[in-house]
Structure 1
Amino acid sequence: MEGWRLFRLYILVIWSFLIVSSAQKLREKTPRANRTMCPNTCTLKRRVSKIERRIQRDLIESKTEIKNEIEALRLLINDTSHPDGARDNMEPGTEIVAHADENVVHGTDSADRENDEQSDVDNLRRTIQIMESNIQALQQQNAELLLLSQEMRAQTAVLRARDEISNEDIAWLRKHSQNKIVSSSDQDRIGSIEGKVSDHAAQINAAGSSIEWLMARVDQLSNAVDTARSEASSANSEAARATDAATRALKIARRRAPTVSAQRNTPTTDDDGLRQPRVPPEDCGELYNMGYNVSGVYRIKPRSYPTAFEVYCEQSYNGGGWTVIQRRRDGSLDFDRNWNAYADGFGEPNGEMWLGNEKLYHFTNQADYRLQVLLLDWEGNRAFAEYDTFNLQGNPDNYALQFGTYVAGNAGDGLRGASRSRSRNAYLAEFTTNDIDNDDCQSCVANSEGDTFYNCARLQGGGWWFRACSDSNLNGRYILPQNFSSCDEVCYGIQWRTWKKNPMYSLKATIMLLRSNQHTNET
């Protein structure tokens, strides 16, 4: 029996030693976890504060720079696009003379002003580049914060798992300490260990709360980065628009303010007494914006066309900026011509004329243009038709016609035709002349007697966008009213059948005009 008691005592001593060793190991685990957590928490707090201050500083600086640059460009655009009242009242020729005299007095002022304007545009472009760099930096910082937040979440999960293990160890110690008889000193030591473990669990919970707070701050900062990115993108778009506007204003300013070398070469005057800009504009709308608001013949040069040529600019009708591409008024010019003649153009800009299909191709493909067709009958009645787009394809496509919606007028949609059938719709129709047949007529009937024909241009006269054939042909034969009765069932003259439906009628006068839609929106 005594041996059995000694054996039990030996077992209890060994068991107590194991309990104390387990508690000691648990206490050693706790500071290591705390030491692992604390530096990362402190580092994250410092990085959050530092990045937040950097984002706020960069955002404020970028907003200020962009606001100042855009305001300066607005002032520049207003100065170059809207000269003072005295200049507005001058005719274009007078303005150039006065401007040249002013530059002679002030020496190189115009050249310096041009350099300043170019410098403003360059400064804005640099600002846009700085903003893009700032956005990239913000995105990189945001990515770093997200990585840190993921790391901290992982560490929190580990700490909480360790906390659960510690709680299990405490429960196990309590269970076995109650069932075993240990010395009072061991009981005190176990209680001390339990208290330390409880303190460590409280620290873990506090650290978890701190990490949750940091996670919330990371989310707020991430939202701030997204907001800053959105604002920077909007400011970037506005700055790009301002850059384009400033570039256009600078282009106009260069023409308005000749350099010193250009002042020695005084602009020439044409036969009508109109001053011409030294650098031909792309169209009459750009000419109008430069201050040339008197209708007449000017030189223009479409962007892709090799040389400049003369056109008639209608600057007093419906807001100005219209380029005349076709005119009929008295029958003084024969329009029954071949393919090359219609490709090159013929007539005089201020008289009866056709601008030329090749010129029209380059002209209408440099921007979006709208078409107005003005019509006059022999009784003095007027009508018009307007289309929101108009352009030609090139010579390989036989100058096929494209046009948009019929948006206004009392003449009707003559290009699409009265019946809206494809056989008389000029949309995508190829150009046909008396020597080059691109229409859809294979054996079209000409009259009630059954006579057939194969070329609409030979039947009706003049080149046009025919199918089989068309309800419009403004280049047809010029027929006087006294000759209408001699027409054989149909007068194949100047036609717009959605207005004048009588086949025995031919119009007195027509004008086709083009204007840039950008100029239309500005006016």
Structure 2
Amino acid sequence: MPVALATGFCLLNILGYATVAVSQLEPAGTGFPFTVCAGLDTVGQKGDPGPMGPTGPSGTPGINGTKGEKGDTGPMGLQGEKGEQGAAGIYSLYNGTSCEDLLNQGEFLSGWNIINPVGMSPLRVLCDMHTDGGGWLVFQRRWDGTVSFNVGWNAYKRGFGSEMNEFWLGNDILHNLTSSGTWELRIDLRDFDNNMYFAKYSSFQVLGEENKYALLVSNFSAGNIGDSLTSHMNMSFSTYDQNNDMSGGNCALTNQAGWWYTNCFQSNLNGLYRLVQNSSQTGINWLSDGKTFYSYKSSEMKIRQL
């Protein structure tokens, strides 16, 4: 039994006993009484909580519940702002099958027109009515670098770019147009000193997709810059995602443009646009000009039916 010395009433909480009873004893021969505190079997006051123990490990996730039913359709959102008005359509007094046909009917202004080629749907094209007698259909234009020509096979197939800036009319259209009749090709280039150059071929055709849009071009007939295209005769068209060239690599990927590559080129008018005069193999190049990989400021490729 726990014991403590005290006098009078013992109020000590000894070894967990909350209250004690007191009795006076005097051992024989001592003459000194002492107090014995006898603990009662009762619970003392609740102590303060101990510090929090460490967090236990996470339990295993429960199984997923069943998918709930589809909720009701929410309310309709607010109506969006009205979009910008589209460009006005072209009104023409003439109905021709080609740019030359429109010219012969009296359309003397260069610009975008609707033509109705035989066997094709109406087609919106850029007609050059003043260069070399006029009547040219422009299928490629480069002049400010706002449009990337490093695009894939499908983009070149259907055409891309902007009527206001640069564009490629599309390989499907080129094939459909040139598969009937005889067409001539003219290429116009401008350098950064604004000198003008041209090359002209009396025979031009693009085969269909089953033939990889192969180039048939011959008879360099005129020009002040030399012939850099005949060497590409019979070459398939290539893009970075469809390599049809004759090299061991990928000319379209290396030169960052779609073109009728050989191994790799004597001309590449779809190369990267350079904002300043530059000699670069990835630029707008025409190698027979005598300037090593000179990149031109502007380029136009155009065809006219003979």
Letter in 1 for 2:212: N
Counterpart of 1:472 (choices 260, 264, 267) is 267
Q: Is the 8 A contact 2:94 2:107 kept in 1?
A: no
Aligned-pair distance for 1:350? 4.5
In 2, distance between residues paired with 1:277 and 1:358? 28
1:506 alignment counterpart: 295
Give SS of 2:194's match: coil
Aligned-pair distance for 1:479? 1.6
**1:409 aligns to 2:223 (yes or no):** yes
**1:457 aligns to 2:249 (yes or no):** no
In 2, distance between residues paired with 1:278 and 1:494? 36
In 2, distance between residues paired with 1:293 and 1:516? 17
1:186 alignment counterpart: none
**1:496 aligns to 2:291 (yes or no):** no
* Partner deviation per Cα, 1:366-393 (whole Å, 9 max, x = no partner): 2211111000111111110000010111
Q: Is the 8 A contact 2:144 2:275 kept in 1?
A: no
Give SS of 2:289's match: coil
The higher radius of gyration belongs to 2
Higher relative helix content: 1
In 2, distance between residues paired with 1:278 and 1:318? 22
Q: Is the 8 A contact 2:146 2:165 kept in 1?
A: no
Letter in 2 for 1:498: S
**1:298 aligns to 2:113 (yes or no):** yes
Q: Is the 8 A contact 1:303 1:362 kept in 2?
A: no
Aligned-pair distance for 1:463? 0.6
With over 3 angstroms needed to count, the CA separation of the structure-2 counterparts of 1:277 and 1:455, relative to structure 1, is: farther
Counterpart of 1:426 (choices 232, 239, 251) is 232
Aligned-pair distance for 1:330? 0.6
Aligned-pair distance for 1:509? 0.2
Letter in 2 for 1:398: K
Give SS of 2:139's match: strand
In 2, distance between residues paired with 1:466 and 1:384? 21
In 1, distance between residues paired with 2:200 and 2:170? 21
Letter in 2 for 1:321: G
In 2, distance between residues paired with 1:339 and 1:367? 26
1:310 alignment counterpart: 124
1:3 alignment counterpart: none
Higher relative strand content: 2
Aligned-pair distance for 1:351? 2.4
2:8 alignment counterpart: none
Letter in 1 for 2:91: R
With over 3 angstroms needed to count, the CA separation of the structure-2 counterparts of 1:278 and 1:388, relative to structure 1, is: closer
Counterpart of 2:207 (choices 381, 386, 393) is 393
2:137 alignment counterpart: 323
Aligned-pair distance for 1:502? 1.3
Gaps of 5+ in 2: 1-86
1:435 alignment counterpart: 241
In 2, distance between residues paired with 1:373 and 1:433? 21
Identity %: 37
Letter in 1 for 2:115: I
Aligned-pair distance for 1:271? 4.1
In 1, distance between residues paired with 2:235 and 2:290? 22
Aligned-pair distance for 1:458? 0.6
Q: Is the 8 A contact 1:441 1:468 kept in 2?
A: yes
Give SS of 2:132's match: coil
In 1, distance between residues paired with 2:274 and 2:134? 31
In 1, distance between residues paired with 2:292 and 2:193? 14
Matches within 5 A, 1:55-94: none
Give SS of 1:502's match: coil
In 1, distance between residues paired with 2:137 and 2:275? 28
With over 3 angstroms needed to count, the CA separation of the structure-2 counterparts of 1:278 and 1:319, relative to structure 1, is: closer
Give SS of 1:288's match: helix
1:85 alignment counterpart: none
**1:284 aligns to 2:99 (yes or no):** yes
Matches within 5 A, 1:136-155: none
Q: Is the 8 A contact 1:297 1:350 kept in 2?
A: no
1:166 alignment counterpart: none
Matches within 5 A, 1:332-351: 332-351=146-165
Matches within 5 A, 1:253-292: 271=88, 275-277=91-93, 279=95, 281-292=96-107
1:381 alignment counterpart: 195
In 1, distance between residues paired with 2:131 and 2:281? 31
In 2, distance between residues paired with 1:329 and 1:336? 15
Give SS of 2:134's match: coil
Q: Is the 8 A contact 1:383 1:410 kept in 2?
A: yes
Aligned-pair distance for 1:437? 0.4
In 1, distance between residues paired with 2:165 and 2:139? 11
TM-score (norm 1): 0.41
In 1, distance between residues paired with 2:150 and 2:290? 22
Q: Is the 8 A contact 2:103 2:135 kept in 1?
A: yes
In 1, distance between residues paired with 2:264 and 2:210? 22
RMSD: 1.8
Q: Is the 8 A contact 2:144 2:165 kept in 1?
A: no
Give SS of 1:481's match: coil
With over 3 angstroms needed to count, the CA separation of the structure-2 counterparts of 1:367 and 1:277, relative to structure 1, is: farther
Aligned-pair distance for 1:278? 6.7
Gaps of 5+ in 1: 1-269, 417-424, 443-453, 518-523
